[in-house]
Amino acid sequence: FSLYFLATHEGAPEIEVTHNWDEREYTNGDNFGHFAFRVDNIYAQCDTFIQAGIEILRPPRDGHMAFVKDPNNISIELLQNGEDLEPIEPWISMENIGSW
């Protein structure tokens, strides 16, 4: 495989693109890699996604990381910007929705 790192300028956020040289055919939802985005409040962001009907693949139980699924079934990683938030377990219950 070959890796390519794309950015608008030095120090800017990068996108990593992988080209696999084998003959494997990839299908929708069977992609190698994913995007990751830093968010200011991972609990609030996941709550916003839930309210919009977006599936949470891995809840942010640790206050640091979560995964959501985009409309093409691709995983997108969310990372808490700065210090991790205090863990909340269980993360999702009906009385907790919107209380972040």
Supply the residues annotated as catalytic: 77
Phi/psi for 48 (5° steps) reads -60, -45
39/13 Cα distance (integer angstroms): 13
Tokens for 11, please give them.
Answer: 């120090």
Query: Which H or E run contains 3?
Result: strand 2-6
Cα→Cα distances 83→16, 33, 45, Å: 24, 25, 16
